[in-house]
Structure 1
């Protein structure tokens, strides 16, 4: 996570805050200078906290923490720019979570390229009972099946897309995933 920063000076040196008798003591000044080196990155982080919470400005090594705080899964395939886009859109994505459009946008942000999501909820009218097997978008028992077709903008393992869809879709809806070559 965050560590020491070489040459970062403390804006509030502890040695200068000591009583006059200790300000003249060389050992006390060296000892507090060591504490200043440890506290300087903490003070700097606290002074810039709002920038750490902004995905566009946060340091790259801070993005996984921010993603965990927001509940966003950042896979290893994502570069820093794509991670920032995904984190910036997290609020809108969670507002639309569980919808076909929300899943499509989530996939396109995470993998680039183009995604098609068919939710299998089309309404059909029949005048007689049917015993035929389900059509595309529906299982044989008539329940909807989520169909995802994605042409990613980056090379990606289909198993990664499968896990991503399984985590982002409603848990009770079965799904199929097709990853097309770009």
Structure 2
């Protein structure tokens, strides 16, 4: 939470900007010194605005707000470096949303798990207009995750990234005999 920072000097003291007739007035100088104490944190924030907009440098509470700007879904249980990485990669992740590569990258970034996607059977089409849709549903997309993993967390990530019209099935290969 931003606020007054005790002892933070103002880079632009108001007393030095007063007209000459107020420069020797003790009350005016004390008054502007009080304003300097209040405004110094605001001026410092504005001077460092690019750092606030960089997810690797932004303060923790500002990072959560910054995540809303790029529609990054953050889990509060994630450590700060992971939350910063997700906010930093949000635009690229949105660009790949709904693709196999996007799903693999999201699992890798969110859960640090290697994964692969076995896509469904593809497209069905007909050369005849008004042909009825096929009776059998398309095969599901299989997401294979390697390593010990929490199935509920993997399925939650897959559900958040997988397109609504696609059925995804999670297979976990823990590598143990």
TM-score by shorter chain over 0.5? yes
Question: What is residue 24 of structure 2 aligned with on the other side?
Answer: 24
Map of 1:1-182 to 2, 5 A cutoff?
1-121=1-121, 141-150=136-145, 158-177=151-170
Shift of 1:181: 6.6
Deviation at 1:147, TM superposition (A): 3.3
CA 1:52–1:168: 2 relative to 1, 3 Å:
same
Q: Which consecutive residues of structure 2, in runs of 5 or more, have no partner in the other structure?
A: 125-134
Deviation at 1:111, TM superposition (A): 1.6
**Deviations 1:15-43, CA, capped at 9 Å, x for gaps:** 22122333323332222222222221221
Maintained 8 Å contact 1:107/1:115: yes
CA distance in 2, matches of 1:23, 1:36: 15
SS in 1 for 2:9: coil
C-alpha change, 1:165 and 1:25, in structure 2 (3 Å) is farther
Structure 1 unpaired stretches of 5+: 125-139
TM-score by length of 2: 0.75
TM (normalized to structure 1)?
A: 0.73
Query: CA RMSD of the aligned region, Å?
Result: 3.0
**Number of residue equivalences:** 165
Partner of 2:132: none
